[in-house]
Chains A and B, each alone.
Chain A
């Protein structure tokens, strides 16, 4: 079985400050890890993924995430937050293989205040 935990329901940061949204996972075998962002009444937008290779993954809109195998974590980060980054963020894990199902975390609401 695979699972994802996002320990924080809410993250608040001031504009211009760095932000971190936490994610830990559990999966047998090598994980495929993803971050998505969702704006109100919209579908999910892909931010970045880790499949293999460098542990630091860079994605859209200046976001990056670091894969840490020993801590089974894949935290999302951004050096300088923008008000427009305020949204709901989901971490997801998938086992490899064709049509592997993704398991999503419960989501973290990020609020960036001016």
Chain B
């Protein structure tokens, strides 16, 4: 089956710093990747959709300048949280889909726990 990894699995940073989270498709070409945010015991909130080689499409209310998404290759997308603040602390999950998979089945990464002090 398709495997998606995320790195790091957890990160603690100081307020005002930037943090980069990587999402990789290990055994397939991910033409589209999705970034989600999840608060404790809550559902996933879609932040943005990124297609390889083009700019990400952000959901309403998500600051594109704060959450920078890059999908430069068919196996890697990155989410950079710029000038992080404590309210950015959350669980960030990516998912990926590719042309090899019917009905755009999504494969999820294990998530990254971000804590901003």
CB contacts (< 8 Å) of A98 on chain B: these are: 32, 104
How far is A51 from B105 in the complex, measured between Cα atoms in Å? 10
* Complex interface bits, B80-117 against A, C-beta within 8 A gives 1, otherwise 0: 00000000000101010100001111111111010000
Tell which of A36, A97, A100, A101 touches B108, judged by Cβ atoms closer than 8 Å.
A36
How far is A97 from B97 in the complex, measured between Cα atoms in Å? 12
Q: Is B67 an interface residue (CB 8 A)?
A: no
Counted as pairs of residues, one from A and one from B, with CB atoms less than 8 Å apart, the total is: 58
Task: Knowing A99-B104, A107-B43 are in contact, say whether A44-B32 is a contact too (CB < 8 A).
Answer: no
Q: Chain B binding site: helix, strand, loop or mixed by DSSP?
A: strand
How far is A101 from B52 in the complex, measured between Cα atoms in Å? 16
> What's the least CB distance linking A32 to chain B, in Å?
6
Q: Is A79 an interface residue (CB 8 A)?
A: no
CB contacts (< 8 Å) of A44 on chain B: these are: 44, 93, 95, 108
How far is A51 from B32 in the complex, measured between Cα atoms in Å? 20
Judge whether B111 and A90 touch: CB under 8 Å: no
Which B residue sits closest to A102, measured CB to CB?
B106
Give the total of B residues in contact with A, Cβ under 8 Å.
27
> What's the least CB distance linking B54 to chain A, in Å?
11
Tell which of B103, B111, B113 touches A51, judged by Cβ atoms closer than 8 Å.
B103
How far is A100 from B34 in the complex, measured between Cα atoms in Å? 10
Interface-centre pick from A41, A96, A97, A105 (highest chain B CB count, 10 A)? A41
Tell which of A36, A101, A107 touches B34, judged by Cβ atoms closer than 8 Å.
A101
Q: Is B25 an interface residue (CB 8 A)?
A: no
* Complex interface bits, B29-53 against A, C-beta within 8 A gives 1, otherwise 0: 0011010000001111010010100
How far is A46 from B95 in the complex, measured between Cα atoms in Å? 11
> What's the least CB distance linking A47 to chain B, in Å?
12
Beyond the given A104-B43, A106-B42, please list 11 additional residue pairs across the A-B interface where CB-CB is below 8 A: A36-B108, A41-B111, A43-B108, A45-B108, A51-B102, A51-B103, A94-B104, A98-B104, A99-B31, A99-B104, A107-B43
